[in-house]
Each structure stands twice: as C-alpha cells, then as structure tokens.
Amino acid sequence: MNRAALLFRLQSIEAEITEKERQIEEINNRMKEEETLITQRAKVENLRARREENRITLRDIELSLKGLEEKLKEAKQKLYGGHVRNPKELMSLEKEVQAMEGTYSRMEERLLELMEELEKESAELKDQEEKLREMEEAWQKEKESLLQEKAKLEKALERLHREREAVISTISPEDLRLYEQLRTRKGPRVVVYLKSLTCQGCGITIPTMLAQEAMVGNKLVLCPHCGRILFPV
Ligand SMILES: [Zn+2]
C-alpha cells in the first residue's frame, strides 16, 4: 500500500478517536448537569420549611387564643357578676376587658391571615413537588439514555484503538516519526489529498515531478508550500 495512504488511514482513525472521546466528554459533562434539579429540590425544601414554621406559629396562636378566651371569660364574670361594686374597680375591670378583647380580635385576624397563607403555601408546595417529581423522572430517563450512548461510544473507541494498532504495525517507524513530528507542529491534519496537482492542505499547485513521485507511493512527498504529506487520489 502507498505509504501516504497508510498514514492517511491512521490520521482518519485518530480523528475518529478524538471525536468519540469528545462525545464521551460531552456526555460526562451532561451527566453532571443536575443544576436545575438541585435548584428545584432546594425550592421545595424551602417551601416545606416555611410551611412548617407557619404551622408552628399557627398552633402557638391557637393556644394563646384559648388562654386569652379563658381570661376574658373570668374578667367578664367578675365585671358582670355583681360582686365588684366599687366604681373605680369596675372601670378598671372594664378597661381590662376591652384591652383583652382588642388583643383577641387582633390575634384572631392574624390567625385567619396565617390560615390563608398556609393554604396558599400548601398549594404552591404541591405544585412544586409535582414539578420536582417530573424533573426527576425526566432526568432519570435522560441519564439512562446517556449511559447507553456512552457505552456505545466506549465500544466504538475500543474498536478504533485496535484498528489504530493494526495500522501502526504496517507503518515504518521512520514514517510514523515524521507523522508525529508534523502533528506536533501542524495539528491533527498532516496528511492531505493531492488532487490534480493541487495540495488540498494549502491549495497550491505542485510540480508534476513531485506529484509523480507521490503517485508511485514508495516515498513520502511533502507539499513544498505547507509541508504536509501528500496523498494522491
Ligand atoms: Zn500544501
């Protein structure tokens, strides 16, 4: 086989290897991308904590209201029971009852507000929990398909590495050295087509003599302009 052709084959395999490795890397990155899910989980946790806090406050208010109700009852009994006759004392009792009634109605208002809030929060929490469940399900599915894709790529990569070894075993160490040197300097594309006297690496027309040498194939011919290995097609 033409020496340039072998190197061209090697170059194609290595390009494929690079591409597969890039795809695997991309999958690895996507597997890490759980950001939206993490944010949603935190959101649900926050909502739960806030609701729990409000539930506790609600219970506290309910207890206080009960206590206040008792006290109010006692004060009213005292006020209207007929035992207290002193006008001054009666007046102060009346004031006390009024103050307690004020507090009571304010607390009752707060209780109603809180109950409304809790209702809204519970609805919101339910929505967000549902959303989280859907996201988790979707993520699970995506993860599975990503893993399948990755397994496929890894298999292909193994095959490519075997192919690469096989091709390398047919290339002379001298040619391989030149190929590697050029790759270090010029990047991954160092073997290029030579099509009707034109180097496909840089577009220049090369002398007929050189093209003929390249066609014979028992020696590597470099483009005099860009220095890439010419592979006549
Ligand atoms: Zn060239």
CA of 204 to the centre of ligand 1 (A): 6
Give distance in angstroms: CA of 216 to centre of ligand 1. 19
Residues with CB under 5 A from ligand 1 (ion): 199, 201-202, 223, 225-226
Query: Residue 39 — left, alpha, or beta (φ > 0 → left; ψ -120 to 50 → alpha)?
Result: alpha
Kindly give the distance from the C-alpha atom of residue 189 to the centroid of ligand 1, in angstroms, as a whole number: 11
**What does the pLDDT look like over 14-56, one tens digit per residue?**
999 999 999 999 999 888 867 889 999 999 999 999 999 999 9
- pLDDT tens digits for 168-180? 999 999 999 999 9
Structural domains in the chain, sorted by start: 1-26+172-233 (1.10.287.1490), 34-158 (1.10.287)
Q: What is the pLDDT along the chain (233 residues), one digit of tens a residue?
A: 689 999 999 999 999 999 999 999 999 988 886 788 999 999 999 999 999 999 999 999 999 999 999 999 999 998 888 888 888 988 998 999 999 999 999 999 999 999 999 999 999 999 999 999 999 999 999 999 999 999 999 999 999 999 999 999 999 999 999 999 999 999 999 999 999 999 999 999 999 999 999 999 889 999 999 999 999 99
